Amino acid sequence: MINVELKGGVIQQFEENITPAQIAKSISMGLYKNVCAALIDGKVCDLRTELTADCKVELLTFDNDEGKQAFWHTTSHILAQAVKRLYPEAKLAIGPSIDEGFYYDFDVEKPFDSEDLLKIEAEMKKIVKSGIEISRFEKAPQDALDYLNEIAEPYKVELASEHAGKGEPISFYKQAEFVDLCAGPHLMSVAPVKAFKLTNCTGAYWRGDSKNQQLCRVYGISFPKASMLEEYITRREEALKRDHNKLGRELELFTTVDYIGQGLPIMLPKGARIIQLLQRWVEDLEQKNGWQLTKTPFMAKSDLYKISGHWDHYQDGMFILGDPDNDDEVYALRPMTCPFQYQAFLNRGRSYRDLPMRLNETSTLFRNEASGEMHGLIRVRQFTISEGHLMCTPEQLEGEFEHCLSLAITCLKTLGLYEDVSYRFSQWDPNDREKYIGTEEEWNNVQGMMGKILDDLGIDYKIGIGEAAFYGPKLDIQIKNVFGKEDTLITIQIDPMIAEKFGMEYVDRDGVKKHPFIIHRTSIGCYERTLALLIEKYAGAFPLWLAPVQVKLLPIADRHHDRVFEIAKELEDMGMRVEVDDRNEKIGYKIREAQVQKIPYMVIIGDKDIENDTVSIRHRKDGDLGSMSLNEFKDMMREEIDTKAIK
């Protein structure tokens, strides 16, 4: 018998080799029908996993994030089974769950269109209705390769070959005639997948490399209840209205041009103005918090990146200028600023009195993102970031980390994004040693230090294994776009290793030379990504201090033009961003146009306003605010801007 600790700390005894699925069934059939996966001693496992020793088990349903992932992963297999039934020549690539839903990549002669997706959905419904049980089995590495070659699945052969060298059994999942190479976990049958929809179909290169075959990627979503799918569709329709890719173009904030290139947006005047306002505000805020501004080159010789380790660990993400195999000098556009800013520290000898040294820069960076990963302003190939690097002593580390986090939180709260973020403690993966520099002892030490700092600060975080930078762990401040896709907005990283590579030293109080700790941080992250999130957060109706046009002046008739342009001049002189709509149109039409453009305030001037020396004010949200003096309106605007109020 083994002791199993269940929810609420209840300990029950079971026969050895019992599975989480059997435990669920012993509790109730309702739980058995709803359980999706299990946490065994904190690790997500398949429901078929046999328990051989005392352990803690949490049964996961669709209400748990890990349960959703297993549910969606199972649905991706239902999708693949339907495709293989309808298009037997299709080759299977990968089909993971994602932040919201799932996708599966297929190598097909012709990409699927909307009619194909409807056929596939219909076949998926037949599969679910049949209630097929799902089973798991393993094969020895060579047997797995032989099997996959026999059924002519070349992409699966490539994946299995990578695992074969470890000598471990390779797992498969089977549902009726369909078999797929997969690590799992999966549901016990297809029956719980009551509602689903295939949402999109795009191209995606195999393994994200444009040199490889382009595949057909089918996205979808699924739920255990039809009502949940209906709610999702409603939310998605609302999300489409807020999608920055759509709204940002309609409001003329940015555009893209095919012959310039993917991931290289053009910021139009209004969008450029918002980013300028953000940059000026952040740079001023950083200066008040003791950061010193630097300005460094956009490119460097490969020698610099070889010292830092980026050449060995990040070269695939860099734009290389020259031929590394034949040219004497090869350059690369910078993917980050850290190795450049270190030169400011190295400019002369340093002592503990120089620390902490806080260096910041509004940095334009270049990263060779895969084409399938880019999305509007959220993920691009050229972007600008509020980057900073801080050199400090071990004793200063916790206080400086807290200082960096406090600055980031101030930015998030001011922008109204703080309630939307979550924290991830990104750690190294000890099973992928080639991805990182340093020893296991060094990683355990620095991760222990960072964990203590986060716990001391009371940060509620999730752990992301394998998400660390190659030189150290990091706190990632995560945020989701309107479609539920999660990205990193802000990072704060502890780096105990790079200083030694660059020979960065300071003389401590005891006269001994030591290497400083380095904190890599952003205070607002990527400005383009931040703009995208602000567009979606406010549906384009930016707070007054950020609005590219703050006031629209609307004369009722031609005879009011002179007064309107006098008011415009006064407002511009106080720094307001103003436009005048002097077209020969009805005032109602002008108001509606200003509303569509999301302009915060409309100033309407007619005969009574001129007679009484007043202005009639409308707010885009609150409507008619009545008449007031121009000075009253100015004071109201100043207060709203100075406090960065969100209205």
pLDDT at 166: 75
Q: Name the pairing type of β-strands 551-555 and 578-580.
A: parallel
- Give the amino acid at 204: A
Is the pLDDT reported for residue 378 higher than 90?
yes
Is the pLDDT reported for residue 19 higher than 80?
yes
Is the pLDDT reported for residue 210 higher than 90?
no
Decide: helix, strand or coil at residue 461.
Answer: strand
Q: Is the dihedral of CA 160, 161, 166, 168 positive or negative?
A: positive
Over range 205-229, report the average pLDDT: 92
The overall average pLDDT reported for the chain is 94
Is the pLDDT reported for residue 165 higher than 90?
no
**Could you tell me the two tokens for 151?**
């059924």
Decide: helix, strand or coil at residue 175.
Answer: strand
pLDDT at 131: 94
Predicted structure pTM score: 0.82
Q: Of 594, 575, 595, whose CA–CA distance to 642 is shortest?
A: 575
pLDDT digits 0-9 by tens, 95-110: 999 988 999 999 999 9
Contact 538, 241 (CB under 8 A): no
The pLDDT confidence band at residue 322, using thresholds 50, 70 and 90, is very high
Residues at the binding site are: 338, 389, 520
Q: Is the dihedral of CA 357, 458, 445, 308 positive or negative?
A: negative
pLDDT at 167: 77
Which residue, chain included where needed, has tokens 């471990």?
A: 168
* Separation of alpha carbons 380 and 365, rounded Å: 10
pLDDT at 211: 83
pLDDT at 592: 96
Decide: helix, strand or coil at residue 329.
Answer: coil
The pLDDT confidence band at residue 606, using thresholds 50, 70 and 90, is very high
Q: What is the dihedral of CA 347, 350, 356, 362, to 10 degrees?
A: 0
CA 374 to chain centroid, in Å, comes to 11
**What are the DSSP E strand ranges found in 163-246?**
170-175, 178-181, 195-205, 214-223
pLDDT at 646: 95
pLDDT at 295: 97
Is the pLDDT reported for residue 351 higher than 80?
yes
Contact 388, 340 (CB under 8 A): no
* Separation of alpha carbons 269 and 466, rounded Å: 40
pLDDT at 267: 97
| Contacts of 271 by beta carbon, 8 Å cutoff, 6+ apart | 248, 252, 253, 254, 531, 548
Percentage of the residues of the chain whose pLDDT score is greater than 90: 88
* Separation of alpha carbons 471 and 106, rounded Å: 36
* Separation of alpha carbons 471 and 467, rounded Å: 11
Length of the chain: 647
pLDDT at 149: 93
pLDDT digits 0-9 by tens, 383-394: 999 999 999 999
Is the pLDDT reported for residue 542 higher than 80?
yes
* Separation of alpha carbons 495 and 502, rounded Å: 13
DSSP β-bridge partners for residue 57: 40
pLDDT digits 0-9 by tens, 470-522: 999 999 999 999 888 889 999 999 999 999 999 999 999 999 999 999 999 99
Burial class (CB in 10 A: 0-12, 13-18, 19+), 68: buried
pLDDT at 370: 79
Neighbours of 307 (CB within 10 A): 15
Contact 532, 375 (CB under 8 A): no
pLDDT at 639: 96
Over range 42-49, report the average pLDDT: 92
Over range 84-89, report the average pLDDT: 96
pLDDT at 261: 92
pLDDT digits 0-9 by tens, 261-281: 999 999 999 999 999 999 999
pLDDT digits 0-9 by tens, 579-593: 999 999 999 999 999
More confident residue, 4 or 127: 127
pLDDT at 641: 97
Residues at the binding site for Zn(2+) are: 338, 389, 520
Over range 409-426, report the average pLDDT: 96
Decide: helix, strand or coil at residue 389.
Answer: strand
Q: Of 527, 494, 291, whose CA–CA distance to 407 is shortest?
A: 291
Contact 557, 584 (CB under 8 A): no
Specify the range with the lowest mean pLDDT, choosing from 218-222, 245-249, 370-374, 612-616. Answer: 370-374
Is the pLDDT reported for residue 371 higher than 80?
no
Over range 43-71, report the average pLDDT: 94
Phi then psi for 30, rounded to 5 degrees? -60, -45
Q: Of 188, 198, 175, whose CA–CA distance to 122 is shortest?
A: 198
pLDDT digits 0-9 by tens, 631-643: 999 999 999 999 9
Q: Of 357, 308, 354, whose CA–CA distance to 499 is shortest?
A: 308
Contact 222, 79 (CB under 8 A): no
Over range 547-574, report the average pLDDT: 96
Over range 554-564, report the average pLDDT: 95
Which residue, chain included where needed, has tokens 């699966």?
A: 156
pLDDT digits 0-9 by tens, 135-155: 999 999 999 999 999 999 999
Phi then psi for 551, rounded to 5 degrees? -135, 135
pLDDT at 431: 84
The pLDDT confidence band at residue 208, using thresholds 50, 70 and 90, is confident
